[in-house]
Amino acid sequence: MAKIIQEEWKIQVPFHLDYTLQCGQAFRWKRFQDRWVGFIKDFLVEVQYDPQTHWMKIRAKPVNSNAVFSREQIEEYFGLKDSLSMIKETTIAKLRENGYAWFIPKMEEMFQKSAGLRILRQELWEVSLSYLLSTQTSIPAIETKLHRLCGLFSENELEWEGESFFRFPSHSQLSSIKTEVYQSLGFGYRSGWVYQFVQQYVSSEFQALKTESLERKVAFLLRFSGIGYKVAHCICLFGFSEMGAFPVDVWISRWLNEVFSVKGNSDTLTHVGQKMFGRYAGYVQEYIFNYCRNLKPGGGWI
């Protein structure tokens, strides 16, 4: 019987757990009343965070015998090492440099509204497949697809307080899955993409990419069928921690048009966003996304 690890400590930097896990960068965290349950590395983790006291409580169950727990790992995963104030100042300086000083108050408001939202450090393999499934799909529907995919492997099941959770399938597990199975899971026209991606995926190639530039990463990813600019930038932002990546989906596209009157296809708008917002365009993008999605039709903030 695996031993449960319990730890709690005070977070010394701004943090918003709900925004971070709800904003559509990760799809498999499950929320209960005041806590979230999901996987970090080799642990099934229950996270509680009190925004008043800034205390984080963790309970973690190892999924294998060589799992080693550390706070470091948790803080790394939640992006707690990112300096949000530095990111904000750098972005604002960039806006001024680019002649968008008029937008700075609005930018500050957006940082304020999404305060504490951080980019997670997720695993490349899971991120890649998740966003391969994300095309023309709502976030709840992506969650359904991934839930079904994970449910294929009963050996990956772990129990937590009467609920079952499934580890994400490994590369070798998926390598024996046929296209028809993906179709039976409701992947639709993405089924072939997923099949091909699994066949073509070489872990060492992805690991080797980590030291390459964002441009080289994107170019590599674009060679896969089903990965275009948007998905490639999502994989770079959420899987490679490339904070300058700028995924353009329908929300970002509409927003850029409404606020800056720019139009174009995905790759054009990607470069526009990168130039406009600079080194941390990915963080800005996430704040824009969270902003748009939390905006009520009338204009207020939910």
The residue ranges that bind DNA (CB under 7 A) are: 23-25, 134-142, 144, 183, 186-189, 224-232, 234, 247, 249-252, 264-266, 268, 285-286, 289, 293
Q: Between 44 and 91, whose beta carbon lies closer to DNA? A: 91
* Residue 190 CB, nearest approach to DNA (Å): 8
**What is the DSSP code (8-state) at residue 133?**
S
**Nearest-approach distance from CB 118 to DNA, in angstroms:** 12
* Cα–Cα distance for residue pair 164/25, rounded to 1 Å: 22
- Torsion angle (degrees, nearest 10) of CA 140, 161, 166, 19: 40
CB of 158 to DNA, least distance (A): 23
For the chain, what is the radius of gyration of the CA atoms? 19
Buried b (16+ CB within 10 A) or exposed e, 203-236: eeebeebeeeebeebbebbeebebbebbbbbbbb
Calpha distance 126→198 (Å, rounded): 11
Minimum CB distance to DNA smaller for 67 or for 152: 152
Residue among 158, 194, 155 at smallest CA distance from 175: 194
Which of 4/259 has CB closer to DNA?
A: 259
Nearer CB in complex with DNA: 136/176: 136
Using alpha carbons, select from 78, 95, 38, 107 the residue that is nearest to residue 241.
78
Query: What minimum distance in Å lies between the beta carbon of 135 and DNA?
Result: 4
For DNA, the closer of residues 19 and 125 by Cβ is 19
Nearest residue (CB) to DNA, 138 versus 170:
138
Min separation Cβ 191 and DNA, Å: 8
Q: Count each helix (H run) and each strand (E run) in the chain, helices first.
A: 15, 7
Q: How far is the CB of 273 from DNA (least distance, A)?
A: 10
